[in-house]
């Protein structure tokens, strides 16, 4: 058997059972104690370690079986490219504890047109009658909750008649929901769409405001056109350093500057001093060198004069000027009483960048302004509501996954804002909504009202339904409190007089 064939057999793990196969792209090695890359001498000899390419993922497995089990678990949630498969979780149930905006009435498509001003709507072919009805009911309540959270008019929900909505249509892949800018339509998929309405509504508002502000696309992609949006982006990505962080950063900067200054000084002086100087003169140079690195004024001139005394030549002018710049920098650092507080990246931004590296092939999605603002807005709405509305924002805190940390232990990566960062971002959203009301792009409404008497009568009229009946409802099983008394069938409607379209 040729060596090439043997290598192929080993690579493909021929005759190795599925349970014993090492996931493709990974490798398990034995550490014999002779060749390790440990800086802290914490890599034990006689143990196993796992690699992917040239990266060492985890060390110090006592047995090969332990290493195999760990890497199989790690690879289980990843695709062929080694990226984590992120799929928004399907909600086990859709809970809502808010006001009864429907008065027990089964919502029709006409309610969406009359209440919110949607320009049209549609259902996917794979949604049965019960699925459609349940989606209409839950979506209607969620949009009312959204209007209540923002204290805006119901008509603002459809951006003054420019937005359309679809349930279980136009979906693809693992997407829970999506917004289509070219058609200005929100689509909520049959199963996973529950929980993502606030996220997608923000995309629509982002697009709508982009048009109003003269942006070529989403406003969040060109935030400088609207100062509150720029503030939102800055708040999402950066925060003020703590005094401890500022001190650590300043110390590191000082150390780097000292190191560079020492290198330039030694290259200008040391070689000739070693050639012409004696041991005592070298000790003198060490003292002068430390004075220079401490930022002592005039130290460069002293060293240049010292060099001339020893070697007969001063430090060349160009090099002396560079060293004097270092002298002033070091002097300023020493004179600074307290480190200046700067800014650092937020955990939300850092985690979003890492989420992209872990879950995407090309990157640029998770840490984009468009997606970060939408995830943050869903959290904002969840926090604003004094009650639970899962269909609206149940996915607000779901953008997380398990990743391998620096020590090889699995840790939770959260690509949504939490804690003080979340509170700061929420405050900016408050400012944006208030400013949009002042600019009359949104309409203030203190109270979100339930269906009126006339709307209840309309629902009782019962329009013809083009949907079949009889199949069990999957969406219906998700509803926490499904009305038992149906008063009117679901409707597909459009403002146009022909078949429904978006």
Average pLDDT over residues 262-291: 92
The pLDDT value given to residue 298: 93
The full set of domain ranges for the chain reads 20-76, 109-239+348-478, 243-335
Judged against a pLDDT cut of 60, whether residue 250 lies above it is answered with yes
Residue 346 has pLDDT above 50, yes or no: yes
Better-predicted residue by pLDDT, 242 or 323: 323
For residues 83 and 502, the model is more confident at 83
Tell which wins on pLDDT, 42 or 80.
42
In this structure, what token pair is assigned to residue 146? 């959204």
Cα 474 from Cα 35, distance rounded (Å): 57
Is the CB of residue 331 less than 8 Å from the CB of residue 323? no
Alpha carbon distance 114, 164 (integer Å): 13
pLDDT at 197: 94
For residue 171, is pLDDT > 90? no
Domain with residues 109-239+348-478, CATH architecture: 3-Layer(aba) Sandwich (3.40)
Alpha-carbon distance of 371 to 169, in angstroms, equals 22
What is the structure's pLDDT at 183? 87
CA distance 468 to 131: 11
Q: What gap in Å lies between CA 187 and CA 178, rounded to an integer?
A: 5
pLDDT, tens digit (0-9, with 9 covering 90-100), for 100-115? 999 888 998 888 999 9
* pLDDT greater at residue 174 or residue 72: 72
Task: Let me know if 396 is exposed, middle or buried by CB neighbors in 10 A (0-12, 13-18, 19+).
Answer: buried
Alpha-carbon distance of 384 to 354, in angstroms, equals: 28
Number of Cβ within a 10 Å radius of residue 449: 13
Helix (H, G, I), strand (E, B) or coil at 31: strand
Q: Which residues in 300-318 are b (16+ Cβ under 10 Å) and which e? A: beebbebbeebbeebbeee
Residue 67's H or E segment, with its range, is helix 64-76
Output the average pLDDT for the chain: 81
pLDDT digits (tens, 9 = 90+) for 288-332: 999 999 989 999 999 999 999 999 999 999 999 999 999 999 988
Could you read off the pLDDT of 34-47 as tens digits, one per residue?
Answer: 766 555 556 788 88
pLDDT at 220 over 80: yes
Share of the chain above pLDDT 70, in %: 75
Q: Work out the widest C-alpha separation in the chain, in whole angstroms.
A: 108
């Amino acid at each position: 058997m040729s060596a090439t064939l043997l290598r192929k057999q080993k690579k493909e793990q021929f005759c190795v059972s599925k349970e014993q196969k090492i996931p493709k792209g990974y490798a398990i090695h034995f550490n014999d104690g002779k060749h390790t890359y440990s800086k802290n001498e914490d890599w034990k000899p006689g143990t196993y370690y796992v690699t992917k390419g040239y990266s060492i993922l985890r060390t110090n497995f006592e047995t090969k079986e332990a290493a195999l089990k760990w890497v199989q678990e790690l690879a289980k949630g990843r695709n062929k490219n080694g990226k984590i498969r992120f799929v928004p979780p399907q909600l086990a149930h859709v809970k809502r504890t808010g006001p009864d905006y429907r008065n027990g009435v089964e919502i029709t498509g006409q309610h969406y047109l009359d209440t919110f001003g949607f320009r049209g709507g549609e259902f996917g072919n794979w949604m049965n009658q019960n699925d459609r009805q349940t989606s209409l009911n839950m979506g209607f309540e969620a949009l009312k909750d959204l209007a209540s959270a923002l204290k805006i008019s119901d008509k603002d929900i459809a951006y003054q008649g420019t937005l359309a909505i679809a349930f279980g249509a136009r979906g693809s892949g693992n997407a829970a929901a999506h917004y289509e800018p070219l058609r200005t339509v929100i689509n909520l998929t049959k199963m996973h769409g529950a929980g993502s309405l606030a996220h997608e509504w923000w995309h629509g508002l982002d697009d709508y405001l982009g048009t109003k502000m003269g942006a070529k696309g989403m406003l969040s992609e060109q935030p400088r056109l609207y100062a509150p949006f720029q503030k939102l982006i800055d708040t999402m990505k950066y925060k003020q350093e703590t005094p401890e962080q500022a001190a650590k950063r300043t110390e590191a900067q000082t150390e780097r500057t000292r190191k560079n200054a020492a290198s330039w000084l030694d290259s200008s002086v040391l070689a000739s001093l070693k050639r012409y100087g004696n041991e005592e003169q070298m000790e003198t140079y060490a003292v002068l060198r430390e004075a220079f690195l401490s930022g002592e004024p005039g130290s460069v001139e002293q060293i240049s004069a010292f060099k001339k005394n020893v070697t007969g030549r001063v430090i060349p002018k160009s090099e002396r000027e560079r060293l004097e710049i270092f002298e002033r920098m070091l002097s300023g650092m020493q004179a600074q009483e307290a480190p200046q507080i700067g800014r650092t990246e937020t955990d939300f931004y850092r985690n979003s960048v890492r989420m992209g590296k872990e879950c995407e092939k090309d990157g640029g999605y998770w840490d984009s302004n468009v997606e970060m603002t939408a995830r943050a807005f869903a959290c904002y709405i969840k926090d604003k509501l004094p009650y639970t509305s899962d269909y609206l924002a149940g996915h607000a805190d779901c953008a997380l996954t398990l990743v391998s940390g620096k020590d090889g232990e699995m840790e939770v990566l959260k690509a949504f804002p939490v804690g003080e960062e979340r509170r700061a971002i929420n405050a900016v959203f408050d400012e944006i909504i208030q400013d949009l009301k002042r600019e009359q792009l949104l309409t203030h409404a203190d109270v979100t009202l339930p269906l009126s008497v006339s709307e209840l009568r309309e629902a009782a009229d019962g329009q013809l339904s083009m949907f079949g009946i009889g199949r069990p409802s999957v969406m219906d099983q998700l509803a926490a409190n499904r009305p038992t008394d149906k008063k009117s069938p679901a409707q597909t409607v459009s403002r146009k007089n022909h078949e429904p379209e978006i």
